[in-house]
A = this chain, B = another copy of it.
Amino acid sequence: MAVRAGLTTAKVVDAALELVDEQGVEALTLAAVAARTGVATPSLYKHVASLGDLRGQVGLRVMQDMTARLTETVVGRSGDDAVSALMHAYRAYVQEHPKRYAAAPMDPLHDELQRAAGLKFMELVLATLRSYGLEGSDAIHATRRLRVIVHGFASIESSGGFGLPEGLDDTYAQLVRMYLDDLRGQS
């Protein structure tokens, strides 16, 4: 008969990510991915272990994509400039792909598949903060504070959680300034 679909795990994840971007995480179903890739549902099991596995791979992809994007943003910058750019780029990424953000893992370090990507992301933040000369646990705390702010804002914004979109740029700018003031203050 005809030719095979020629799927690979990567192509399945591609299709899943498109689906998530278009219809949200709840719409990520093996049946929908199968339809989109032109294959019967059970065939997907040749490329993916389960729906849970697929979710994990989509999350991994999002995290890698974000890390790549943020890395580009940060290279060549340092100090407040770098931190500000990182935070704004994080928000911009989530604004461009709002549905997708809900698929990103919140605990990548506890997942075998995602751990490496999670560490990479963490190291990017640590590197961005390098010029502040934070030592040991101070660096960890500073990284966590940054994460709390960017994730907190992005998760609320991407799920439409702010009553009105009005003035959100200002709110975010204030958060960035607050973080930077704090960083300076305790350095």
Contact = CB atoms under 8 A, between A and B. Distances in A.
Interface of A: 106-107, 109-110, 122, 137, 140-141, 144-145, 147-153, 155-156, 159-163, 167, 170-171, 174-175, 178-179, 181-182, 185
B167 A141 contact: yes
Given A141-B171, A148-B153, 8 more contacts: A106-B156, A106-B159, A106-B161, A145-B171, A148-B148, A151-B152, A151-B156, A181-B185
22 contacts: A106-B156, A106-B161, A107-B159, A107-B161, A140-B167, A141-B167, A141-B170, A141-B171, A144-B162, A144-B171, A145-B175, A145-B178, A147-B152, A147-B156, A148-B148, A148-B153, A149-B152, A151-B152, A152-B153, A178-B179, A178-B182, A181-B185
